[in-house]
Amino acid sequence: MSKLNNDLWLFDYNQGAAYEEFSKSEDVFKVINTYLLDNYDFKDKIILEIGAGSGKFTSFLSEVCSKLYVVESNASLMQINRNKNCDADNVEFILSDVRELVMEPNSVDIIFASWSVTSMRESFDVVFEILKKILRKDGMILLVENAGNDEFSKIMGIEKFTSEMKNAYVNMGFIQKKVVDTIIKLPHVDVFYNVFPNKKNVKLSSLEIQHKVLILEMQAFVLWN
């Protein structure tokens, strides 16, 4: 599989403030949230959000489910997430690498991850064995990942890599449910360059970047086949 510069997907997660500012620019019109609400029933569900970062989807998920477990391995990103969601009484934060995650077996209805599972690609065997134990047999895994064939992928130079990852997910048993057309709307160019310092030689043509996002789904029974 193709390698990325510095093997990052796609951020230096230790730059929490820069990551959070960029995250605020993603999908500003909440197109992804709307699609998820229209197509999935989160009511009364127990959700595990893995690789939650600074909480792009944590607030949304906590508002629509009964219980939300939030897992993140980076302490600075988790603290940003905690600060944003400190009033949500149905959220439990777990500072852990997914590869070391310990939870009750068969305790989760939905596992949700946005732009994070790809960063675990070198440890898929370990990660999915852990998720298999946690997920209920009638549950599902939902992923939000880059779809490619868009302006963002071209700027980042990840067209080939994204295509390879999509194929890898399909081979694992994920179904490509929807390509969501959205935008990254930057308040100013520094928000982009601060989080992607290796792209400072790339001139942005606009503060709005076309972004295609792929929603993938795997039913739990696939993990046992």
Residue spans per domain, the chain: 5-224
pTM of the model: 0.94
DSSP calls for 27-96 = TTT-HHHHHHHHH---TT-EEEEES-TTTTTHHHHHHHSSEEEEEES-HHHHHHHHHHTTT-TTEEEEE-
Are residues 103 and 69 in contact, defined by beta-carbon separation less than 8 angstroms? yes
In the prediction, which pLDDT does 52 show?
95
Which residues of 34-134 form beta strands (DSSP E)?
Answer: 46-50, 67-72, 91-95, 108-114
Tokens of 21: 């500012």
- Contacts of 194 by beta carbon, 8 Å cutoff, 6+ apart: 15, 18, 21, 22
**Segments of the chain with pLDDT less than 50:** 4-8
E strands, 33-107, where? 46-50, 67-72, 91-95
Token pair of 208 as six digits: 């709005």
SS3 47: strand
pLDDT of 14: 73
- DSSP one-letter code for 40: -
DSSP structure class, residue 115: S
Q: Which CATH architecture has domain 5-224?
A: 3-Layer(aba) Sandwich (3.40)
Q: What gap in Å lies between CA 139 and CA 185, rounded to an integer? A: 34
Tell me: the pLDDT tens digits for 151-183?
Answer: 999 999 999 999 999 999 999 999 999 999 999
> Hey, what amino acid is at 223?
L
Pairing of strands 46-50, 108-114: parallel
pLDDT score of 9: 55
Dihedral sign, Cα of residue 223, residue 181, residue 51, residue 164: positive
Return the structure tokens found at 52.
């939650």
Of how many residues is the chain composed?
225
